[in-house]
Structure 1
Amino acid sequence: MAVDLWAIAVEVARAVDISSDLAPNSELFVPDSRRAWARLAVAVLIGSLGSVGMWSVVVALPVVQTEFGAGRGTASLAFTMVMLGFGSGGVLTGKITDRYGIVTAIGVGIGILALGYIGAGMSSSIWQFILVHFAIGLSSSATFGPLMAEASHWFYRYRGLAVAIAASGNYIGGTIWPPLVNFGMQSIGWRSTHIAVGLFAAVAMALALVALRLLMGAGTRRNHQNAPPPRVDLRLSTNALTAILALASIACCVAMSMPQVHIVAYCGDLGYGVARGAEMLSLMLGFGIISRIGSGFLADRIGGIATLLIGSIAQGTALLFYLFFDSLTSLYIISAMFGLFQGGIVPSYAIIVREAMPASEAATRVGIVIFASVFGMSFGGFISGVIFDATGSYGAAFLNGIAWNAVNVTIMLSLLWRARQRLAMA
């Protein structure tokens, strides 16, 4: 009943005070308004810029490895540090967002990003380069989980779509930044490129943040008193639900990591060459953008739990196809399918958090679940390599991914059953 009253209040506010859409300094903010969409557009821009930390390290690794004379395993620790910084930073910046607002959280991230990239460009040893990437990963975290949680506060009717669009900034950055970083390294060297990326991204994000600050109006400090109540009652405490979602996130991301981390090496083993594998990885990310936006539309109609369940079942199906088809054409097709199926899974967790938990805790809880997903990706990539070393084939690694995916499906089915049972009782 409370949800219905809120929806009615939103419609009345929109009808009575449409002018608030055009008044950035007005204290009255109407969900789903033009001002909300303007905020979302700026948020996607910030997310695309801030996600550079997730992708530049992959491009720079071979060159940095050669300069410092390090082993591939040692150089790869830089990516591990990015993941650790991104995961732990999601919790930290989520807490900052819940308490002080998204503008403060991203402002902190901008400063750390600039210092991180300048430090990387001035590194005198491979270990300095590796360690500074923890700061780079932490800075990128402010533009992912917290932005998804914040976008959920700006919308009611189109909340799922908004969260999915906000999450797409990460994939947009993954499409744009790698070729730019590669071009810079070939033109001015990797050191100058890192310093230039840090300065450019920091300045561009600062300007975008000013625009977001103006669109946020007078109250940049988050006030959750008038936020819409949770839509779904799962009869679970917020801590219990957070733990369940974290476990589900680990399970689905262990499965997700198998193709994303190993598709390039897999194509090399099959004799197709690493360039073909890189093309398949780009194909996954490109179709992942479509999947994220599509999952947002779906979540607004059937809810976050059902949307995540559909994505998880589809992801498991794609993994199964990898077991039976390994021709070049089939791998391209399956990789596109995999991207189309899995892209909407991670944003669905943010939608579930917002549907079932208080608004005042949303960014922190999303940060915890994102941290779990990062752990799942890291562990999944590692364990798939261990399985390959033990068996000499990726077949068992794909089976391992399918098994973890089944755990995620089981958890989502149980949550959906609890939600439906509660709805039937009501």
Structure 2
Amino acid sequence: MHDSAEAPTRLDRWYPWLIVVASLTMIVVGQGIQFVLSVSLKAMTADLGWPRQVPSLAYAASMVCAGIGALYLGRLSDRLGMGPVALIGAVMIPGGAVLTSFVTEPWQLYLVFGVMIGLFGNATIFAPLMANTTRWFDRNRGLALGIVASGQSMGGTIWPPIATALNIEIGWRGTFLWYGVAALILMMCMTLILRRRAPGHLPPAPVSAGSRRAAAAPVLGWPAWLVQAMLCAAIVGCCVPMALPLVHLVPHASDLGFGPAAAAGLLSVALATSFVSRVGGGMLADRIGGLRTLFIGSAIQAAMLAGIASTTDLALLFGFAAIFGLGYGGIIAMYAFIVREYFPSEGLGGRIAVVYLFGTLGMALGGWTGGYVYDAVESYAVAFAIGVAFNVGNLALIGTLILRSRGRSAAAVA
């Protein structure tokens, strides 16, 4: 009787993949609010008489606040598990969407997107979910992380056409309202799956001298804080050049004289191929490790961004955009993979949240840099070249860690 009680059930064996499905759904649905805002931006500003910088600033506030909020919520998931943290996001993001449908003043939009959508909404989505996913897998960890991270690409494919159709039928206010209703139902259902803790993920014991020594143990022969600082700098170095074309590729193509459909098609191609590389990159990381996979993806991103900056031929631009997507798509999930690979599992959510905070700052810096440089010199090519320089810095940091990793085993604790 005891043996049968201890034997894992079929549900136990498949539960890690249920976690992947639930996490993927949370990202697709929860981050859909950003795409709803993007599609509704023109109608919203025309209706309320706002300049377009108002919803743009609300978007930027949600990004930065999400990174800041994840610092606390990542640590909270270490203590309480993913369930309570996911529940916060499942309430805040839909609630923020519903409130957005009633805004009449810019400060109201800033408050909703900064606090509800960012600080307590999307802060619960990416970094905590990635950290939680790593706890469920020893084998196929990279594949699992790649599938979860692909939620960003899937959301970019699914939500814009839905939001466009809703804007036409019921207006931007109705679009936010019904998105909020649908998001509440879907996300609350996913929290029922995410409330189960990963095997071995127990509430932290009182801090002892031994646990403090374990947390401070060297990583790759260097102090743990130094390696984490290098990862934080590295993610800035890859997110600045990542954001530049994602935000400015469409206007760049338009400036070159191509029509709206062709310009938008470039971004669509990059997003489509990024979905493939998020899953493929995860599978590659399971074979060669996170650092090497990150280096390959970052090198592809740098080369393709240089190509985009140097050509005016539409066919070449489509080729560069497609391969750019293959490069950047697999990058972001690798940081969670690397932290889980080389650092102890204690405090995993907090460590990953710190790294991804710098990622959001890099994305914000990249988006701002493109606009600032264009206004100064009337050329996106110069901005893209700056992005390539950031990317070279990223490759130098990751290459250094790869050299340090030779002959050293990963230190993560299952």
What residue number does 1:121 align with? 101
What is the letter of the counterpart of residue 262 of structure 2?
R
Selected match of 2:275 from 289, 299, 309: 289
**Aligned-residue offset at 1:421:** 5.1
Q: CA RMSD in A?
A: 2.6
Distance in 2, Cα, partners of 1:260 & 1:62: 19
Selected match of 1:22 from 10, 23, 27: 10
Distance change >3 Å, CA 219–CA 419, structure 1 → 2: closer
Check if 1:270 corresponds to 2:256. yes
Q: How does 1:384-399 map to 2 (within 5 A)?
A: 384-399=370-385
Contact 1:146–1:367 (Cα < 8 Å) also in 2:
yes
Contact 1:53–1:137 (Cα < 8 Å) also in 2:
no
Distance in 1, Cα, partners of 2:127 & 2:89: 13
Selected match of 1:412 from 382, 388, 398: 398
3-state SS of 1:70 partner: coil
**Aligned-residue offset at 1:114:** 2.3
Distance in 1, Cα, partners of 2:246 & 2:152: 15
Check if 1:57 corresponds to 2:45. no
Contact 1:291–1:344 (Cα < 8 Å) also in 2:
yes
Check if 1:48 corresponds to 2:28. yes
3-state SS of 2:347 partner: helix
What residue number does 1:245 align with? 231
**Aligned-residue offset at 1:21:** 3.7
Check if 1:401 corresponds to 2:387. yes
Contact 1:314–1:341 (Cα < 8 Å) also in 2:
yes
Distance in 2, Cα, partners of 1:177 & 1:224: 42
Distance in 1, Cα, partners of 2:138 & 2:343: 14
Q: How does 1:202-351 map to 2 (within 5 A)?
A: 202-213=184-195, 216=197, 233-351=219-337
TM-score, L = length of structure 1: 0.87
Selected match of 2:84 from 94, 97, 104: 104
What is the letter of the counterpart of residue 142 of structure 1?
T
Distance in 2, Cα, partners of 1:218 & 1:252: 33
Q: How does 1:128-139 map to 2 (within 5 A)?
A: 128-134=108-114, 135-138=116-119, 139=121
Q: Could you report, residue by residue, the CA deviation over 1:144-173 in whole angstroms, capped at 9, with x for unpaired residues?
A: 111111111111111111111111112211
Selected match of 1:145 from 127, 131, 142: 127
Selected match of 2:165 from 158, 180, 183: 183
Contact 1:65–1:71 (Cα < 8 Å) also in 2:
yes
What is the letter of the counterpart of residue 23 of structure 2?
A
**Aligned-residue offset at 1:22:** 2.4
Distance in 1, Cα, partners of 2:340 & 2:205: 12
Q: Which moved more, 1:117-126 or 1:235-244?
A: 235-244
Contact 2:70–2:123 (Cα < 8 Å) also in 1:
yes
Give me the identity figure in percent: 34
Contact 2:309–2:382 (Cα < 8 Å) also in 1:
no
Distance in 1, Cα, partners of 2:275 & 2:248: 20
Selected match of 2:49 from 69, 75, 78: 69
**Aligned-residue offset at 1:220:** 8.2
Contact 1:305–1:348 (Cα < 8 Å) also in 2:
yes
**Aligned-residue offset at 1:41:** 1.9
Query: Unaligned 5+ residue runs, structure 2?
Result: 207-213
Q: Could you report, residue by residue, the CA deviation over 1:110-153 in whole angstroms, capped at 9, with x for unpaired residues?
A: 11112211211111213312331112133123221111111111
Check if 1:85 corresponds to 2:68. no
What residue number does 1:359 align with? 345
In the alignment of these two chains, the number of paired residues is 398
**Aligned-residue offset at 1:363:** 1.3
Q: Which moved more, 1:40-49 or 1:154-163?
A: 40-49
**Aligned-residue offset at 1:203:** 1.4
What is the letter of the counterpart of residue 87 of structure 1?
G
Distance in 2, Cα, partners of 1:332 & 1:420: 37
3-state SS of 1:71 partner: coil
Q: Could you report, residue by residue, the CA deviation over 1:23-81 in whole angstroms, capped at 9, with x for unpaired residues?
A: 55xxxxxxxx4221222122212221112133222112111111121112233112111
3-state SS of 1:189 partner: helix
Distance change >3 Å, CA 68–CA 234, structure 1 → 2: same
Q: Could you report, residue by residue, the CA deviation over 1:349-392 in whole angstroms, capped at 9, with x for unpaired residues?
A: 01011011121211111111111111111111111222222222
3-state SS of 1:157 partner: coil
Check if 1:196 corresponds to 2:196. no
Distance in 1, Cα, partners of 2:35 & 2:225: 32
Q: Could you report, residue by residue, the CA deviation over 1:381-420 in whole angstroms, capped at 9, with x for unpaired residues?
A: 1112222222221221121011000000000011111111
Distance in 2, Cα, partners of 1:217 & 1:292: 23
Distance in 1, Cα, partners of 2:34 & 2:69: 13
Contact 1:103–1:220 (Cα < 8 Å) also in 2:
no
Contact 2:24–2:147 (Cα < 8 Å) also in 1:
yes
Contact 2:81–2:197 (Cα < 8 Å) also in 1:
no
Q: Which moved more, 1:361-370 or 1:410-419?
A: 361-370
Contact 2:146–2:278 (Cα < 8 Å) also in 1:
yes
Distance in 2, Cα, partners of 1:420 & 1:219: 29
**Aligned-residue offset at 1:95:** 1.4
